[in-house]
Amino acid sequence: MTRAVAKPLLIALAVLALLAALAAAAVVALNLRGEAAIPDDAAPVQDATPGQVERGRYLALAGNCAGCHTARGGADYAGGVGIDTPFGTVVASNLTPDDATGIGRWSPAHFWRAMHHGRSKDGRLLYPAFPYPSYTRVTREDSDAIYAYLRTLPPVARPNDAHRLRFPYGTQAALAVWRAASFRPAPFTPDPAKPAEWNRGAYLVGGLGHCIACHGSRDGLGATEEWRGLAGGTIPGQGWYAPALNAPHEAGVADWPIDDIVALLRTGTAPRGSVTGPMAEVVYRSTQHLSDEDLRAMALFLRELPPAETASPTPPARRDAGLMARGAKIYDQQCAYCHGDQGQGAPGAYPPLAGNRAVNMATTTNLVQIVRRGGFLPATEGNPRPYGMPPFGHVLDDDEIAAVLSYIRGAWGNTGAELGRREVMQR
Amino acid sequence: MAENQGLLHVHAFTRFARRTLRPLALMLAAAGGPALAQAPVPDTMAQRMAACIACHGREGAATNAGYFPRLAGKPAGYLYNQLLSFRDGRRFQSDMTHLVAHLSDAYLREIAEYFAGLDLPYPRVPTATDASPDTLARGRALALEGDAARGIPACVQCHGAQLTGVLPAIPGLLGLPRLYLASQMGAWLTDKRHAPAPDCMAEIGRRLSNADIHAVASWLAIQPMPADPKPAASLPAPLPMRCSAETP
């Protein structure tokens, strides 16, 4: 190699190194933006009032913290639930005030930094499976209340399990780049043109409620696409679709009475719909425990969501007569007993299938899940003894599930397209 | 299906479902399907528990073919403990964990009491078996005498002299499919089925060999139901080991 070639190469390398250093500095700066330094001697605080602790207990329910931080049959808030993502499994941490394994040594400032900035006490960046892109809107006052409540829990010595993420997603550097591109800490900003009740609803839905974690879409790097709003999304790793809350043909409630929206969130069932799958858990563990005022505020906000500009679906031009006939036969044998021979259902017990938008929705994964696995509505104070549907996964094979769902989506004036074995086999 | 021991069982499920459930559903539909759906839905536990029929048979009476266990007449405390275990992560049959995931303690208690209170005739127990006489003799010995040298108590010491269970929370072992019995014992052996501590059956299960499980399940599955198939009111002697089933 001659000097004449080496010199430009060296310059190019130096420029590249400089650019890399600048990019790294930018990523670091973007990750730390808005953060106030926490003093080294920041210590746990135990001076909460009973009112603050009770407020924190309530807010932890509003955020369904236990949904991830309490394992089935495990101690309250001791962590251990694995959250499946396209990048691997993130394991929820121990939130009990155990010094060694929980948040016993955290100060309120550390807790706030986790909620608002997505950084742990030891400085590590947190994975957004912990929905801090939503929790960043939670006020310092509410964060302190949740902290105060968590400190009253019995400490549980349960070491946190390591996340199981594929390379490079398991590295802090990759997470830092993701955060620089996709996360910006920001407080909730009320809309002065809207009434206080609407703003309360917006705060709960967009903050602790983290509804967008399921009801929103995600980009290729797994970030919720805030700009699309609550436009529906496939729940990573669960095989359920969380329908759009801003679309009349999915789960929009713009034309529901406020009382019905409140009833759905409080009891799991309402005159025009009921909750299944992951939403049954949300009602069971979170919204059924909320105050009437907060549920009404959420209902008001949801009802006034700007409607999505999507055309209402049109029925397919033609249907496969053989498939419809096979489906009709299965329907009569297996489904009509409860859902009625005209898909009319039975009020209070079995949902109608005729004209049911959950039946006609473009995405059919929920229907397949319901047929295969059955289920009960959540047992709530307002609906303590729900009726149930058997799992048909043992009774019907994939072709039969496709046939009966195609029939249900085409009968009685329904508008859903037929589905094939391929849709049923997707899990 | 972590409680099942292999694909074989899943196939057995499917065969069972096709042979038994289809006619059952047809029967229900014929008996009052469409007409019933027009009438108000009965405000009864029987109607609420229609979700259980598909697997456990009408009113939880089940059959002794296939896999699914009978529910009718089992001690309420036992059924309640199992429902809690499915919900709270101690038992792992995926359909069951899904069905009870969001049901309250109070409702699960009511469900347990509903099935415990059903007094239905048992289907005829099969007498044919492919197990060898030696295997059956070994199973009989384990059930009635246990194996003291290996710390295995006899089934009758806890499950009642008639093996029909003991109130309030120890289940009967008769009238159950061999497949179900064997897969439950296998689940204890492989640490896939749990009860709250002290988990007596997990302890015993770990002492069983595959051959023990095959033998005792084969023998239990062909024992006729006694004239009185109800659980015993109490045990004549204290349990041989500590067990959470004593305090449901």
Per-position DSSP letters for A344-400, written without gaps between them: --BTTTB---TT-HHHH-S--HHHHHHHHH-EE---BTTBSS--EE---TTTS-HHH
A168-177, B25-34, B65-74, B236-245: least confident range: B25-34
Most distant CA atoms of chain A, gap in Å: 88
Domain end (from A158, A182, A206): A182
State whether B177 and B207 are in the same domain.
Answer: yes
Q: Is the pLDDT of residue B32 over 80?
A: no
Band (pLDDT 50/70/90 cuts) for residue A237 is confident
Domain assignment of residue B127, yes or no: no
Domain assignment of residue B172, yes or no: yes
State whether A231 and A177 are in the same domain.
Answer: no
Given CA atoms A402, A403, A405, A410 in this order, what sign does their dihedral have? positive
What is the extent of the structural domain holding B155?
133-246
Do the Cβ atoms of A201 and A265 come closer than 8 Å? Answer: no
Domain count, chain B: 2
State whether B109 and B139 are in the same domain.
Answer: no
Domain assignment of residue B68, yes or no: yes
Q: Which residues of B touch A336 (CB under 8 A)?
A: 29, 33-34, 37
Residue A119 gets which letter from DSSP?
B
- pLDDT of amino acid A123: 94
CA distances from B19 to A394, B23, B55, B65, B90 (A): 11, 7, 12, 10, 31
- pLDDT of amino acid B16: 41
Q: Please name the residue of chain A whose CA is at the shortest distance from the CA of residue B53.
A: A390
State whether A268 and A326 are in the same domain.
Answer: no
Q: Residue B236, exposed/middle/buried by CB under 10 A (0-12, 13-18, 19+)?
A: exposed
Instruction: Name the nearest CA neighbour of B67 among B131, B112, B21, B132.
Output: B21
State whether A297 and A367 are in the same domain.
Answer: no
Distance from the Cα of residue A200 to its chain's centroid: 20
State whether A170 and A268 are in the same domain.
Answer: no
Residue B20 gets which letter from DSSP?
I
Structure ipTM: 0.92
Mean pLDDT of A230-245: 93
The long-range contacts involving A74-80, CB below 8 angstroms and separated by at least 24 positions, are A74/A158, A74/B89, A75/A154, A75/A156, A75/A158, A76/A153, A77/A150, A77/A153, A78/A102, A78/A156, A78/A158, A79/A158, A79/A160, A79/A161, A80/A158, A80/A161
| A336·B37 Cβ contact <8 A | yes
Say which amino acid occupies B197: A
Predicted TM-score (pTM) of the model is 0.90
State whether B137 and B103 are in the same domain.
Answer: no
CA distances from B49 to A30, A142, A388, B20, B44 (A): 56, 42, 7, 18, 9
Domain assignment of residue B38, yes or no: yes
**Distance from C-alpha of B177 to C-alpha of A382, rounded to nearest angstrom:** 39
Mean pLDDT of A339-353: 95
Do the Cβ atoms of A370 and A393 come closer than 8 Å? Answer: no
Question: Cis link prior to B168 (omega < 30° from 0)?
Answer: yes
CA distances from A91 to A81, A195, A211, B150 (A): 6, 39, 20, 40
pLDDT digits (tens, 9 = 90+) for A169-227: 999 999 999 999 999 999 999 999 999 999 999 999 999 999 999 999 999 888 999 89
Q: Please name the residue of chain B whose CA is at the shortest distance from the CA of residue A74.
A: B88
Domain end (from B81, B116, B151): B116
Domain assignment of residue A413, yes or no: yes
State whether B141 and B56 are in the same domain.
Answer: no
- pLDDT of amino acid A427: 65
Residue with tokens 């899990």: A427
Q: In this structure, what token pair is assigned to residue A304?
A: 């006034």
A382 and chain B: CB distance < 8 Å anywhere? no
Instruction: Name the nearest CA neighbour of A290 among A266, A259, A263.
Output: A266
The residues, ordered by sequence, that sit 6+ positions from B54 with a Cβ below 8 Å of its Cβ are A374, A390, A391, A392, A394, A395, B17, B21, B25
The residues, ordered by sequence, that sit 6+ positions from A59 with a Cβ below 8 Å of its Cβ are A142, A145, A146, A149, A208
Q: In this structure, what token pair is assigned to residue A140?
A: 């310092």
State whether A239 and A299 are in the same domain.
Answer: yes
Mean pLDDT of B106-116: 98
State whether A272 and A383 are in the same domain.
Answer: no
Residue by residue, DSSP assigns A194-263 as S-HHHHHHHHHHHTTT-THHHHS-B-TTS-B-GGG-S--EEETTTTEEE--SS-TTTT--TTS-HHHHHH
Q: Which residues of A touch B98 (CB under 8 A)?
A: 373-375, 391
Domain end (from B82, B116, B150): B116
A52-66, B9-23, B102-116, B152-166: least confident range: B9-23
State whether A290 and A339 are in the same domain.
Answer: no
What is the extent of the structural domain holding A261?
196-303
Mean pLDDT of B98-124: 95
Domain end (from A153, A182, A211): A182
Domain assignment of residue B26, yes or no: yes
CA distances from B40 to A104, B37, B43, B86 (A): 55, 7, 9, 32
Domain assignment of residue A287, yes or no: yes
| B89·A74 Cβ contact <8 A | yes
State whether B43 and B91 are in the same domain.
Answer: yes
Mean pLDDT of B75-86: 97
Instruction: Name the nearest CA neighbour of B34 among A17, A164, A296, A334.
Output: A334
CA distances from B222 to A38, B116, B126, B127, B131 (A): 71, 23, 6, 5, 10
Mean pLDDT of B235-245: 91
Q: Is the pLDDT of residue B10 over 90?
A: no
CATH of the domain at A374: 1.10.760.10
CATH of the domain at B99: 1.10.760.10
Mean pLDDT of B135-145: 98
**Distance from C-alpha of A165 to C-alpha of A167, rounded to nearest angstrom:** 7
pLDDT digits (tens, 9 = 90+) for A82-92: 999 999 999 99
Domain assignment of residue B85, yes or no: yes
Residue by residue, DSSP assigns A12-78 as HHHHHHHHHHHHHHHHHHHHHTTPPPPPTT--------HHHHHHHHHHHHHTTHHHHHB-TTSPTT-
Name the strand (E) or helix (H) holding A82. Answer: strand A82-85
- pLDDT of amino acid B248: 56
Q: In this structure, what token pair is assigned to residue A167?
A: 């390379």
Report helix, strand or coil for A153: coil
Q: Please name the residue of chain B whose CA is at the shortest distance from the CA of residue A381.
A: B104
The per-residue pLDDT of chain A, averaged, comes to 94
- pLDDT of amino acid B23: 40
- Mutation for testing the B interface, residue in A285, A389, A392, A395 having most B CBs under 10 Å: A395
Question: Cis link prior to A168 (omega < 30° from 0)?
Answer: yes
Angle A106-A107-A113 (CA atoms, 0-180°, nearest 5)?
A: 90
State whether B106 and B152 are in the same domain.
Answer: no
Domain assignment of residue A168, yes or no: yes
State whether B137 and B233 are in the same domain.
Answer: yes
State whether B109 and B149 are in the same domain.
Answer: no
State whether B26 and B112 are in the same domain.
Answer: yes
Q: Is the pLDDT of residue B12 over 80?
A: no
| B98·A340 Cβ contact <8 A | no
State whether A62 and A172 are in the same domain.
Answer: yes
Q: Please name the residue of chain B whose CA is at the shortest distance from the CA of residue A334.
A: B25
A395 and chain B: CB distance < 8 Å anywhere? yes
A152-156, A356-360, B175-179: least confident range: B175-179
Domain assignment of residue A309, yes or no: no
Domain count, chain A: 3
Given CA atoms A352, A354, A355, A358 in this order, what sign does their dihedral have? positive
Instruction: Name the nearest CA neighbour of A395 among B183, B24, B69, B93.
Output: B24
φ and ψ at residue A367, rounded to 5 degrees = -60, -45
A4-8, A241-245, A329-333: least confident range: A4-8
A125-129, A292-296, A311-315, B93-97: least confident range: A311-315
Say which amino acid occupies A426: Q
| B33·A379 Cβ contact <8 A | no
- pLDDT of amino acid B38: 54
pLDDT digits (tens, 9 = 90+) for A282-323: 999 999 999 999 999 999 999 999 999 877 778 898 999 999
State whether A292 and A362 are in the same domain.
Answer: no
The residues, ordered by sequence, that sit 6+ positions from A21 with a Cβ below 8 Å of its Cβ are none
- pLDDT of amino acid A33: 86
Domain assignment of residue A257, yes or no: yes
Instruction: Name the nearest CA neighbour of A290 among A317, A252, A263.
Output: A263
State whether B145 and B85 are in the same domain.
Answer: no
Report helix, strand or coil for B74: coil
Question: H helices then E strands: how many in chain B?
Answer: 12, 0
Band (pLDDT 50/70/90 cuts) for residue B163 is very high
- pLDDT of amino acid B40: 83
Q: In this structure, what token pair is assigned to residue B100?
A: 């009870």
**Distance from C-alpha of A360 to C-alpha of A333, rounded to nearest angstrom:** 22
Domain end (from A130, A151, A182): A182
For chains A and B, what is the number of CB pairs under 8 angstroms?
125
CB-closest option in A332, A385, A389 to B110:
A385
- pLDDT of amino acid A426: 80
Domain assignment of residue B37, yes or no: yes
Write the Ramachandran bin of A77: left for phi over 0, alpha for psi from -120 to 50, otherwise beta: left
| B89·A332 Cβ contact <8 A | no
Domain assignment of residue B2, yes or no: no
The residues, ordered by sequence, that sit 6+ positions from B214 with a Cβ below 8 Å of its Cβ are B131, B135, B139, B182
Q: Is the pLDDT of residue A3 over 70?
A: no
CB-closest option in A73, A375, A394 to B88:
A73
Residue A164 gets which letter from DSSP?
E
State whether B112 and B137 are in the same domain.
Answer: no
With pLDDT > 90 as the criterion, what percentage of chain A qualifies?
87
State whether A212 and A260 are in the same domain.
Answer: yes
- pLDDT of amino acid B246: 82
**Distance from C-alpha of A47 to C-alpha of A9, rounded to nearest angstrom:** 63
Instruction: Name the nearest CA neighbour of A201 among A272, A262, A285.
Output: A262
Mean pLDDT of B107-128: 93
pLDDT digits (tens, 9 = 90+) for A254-274: 999 999 999 999 999 999 999
Q: Is the pLDDT of residue A335 over 60?
A: yes
Question: Cis link prior to A384 (omega < 30° from 0)?
Answer: no
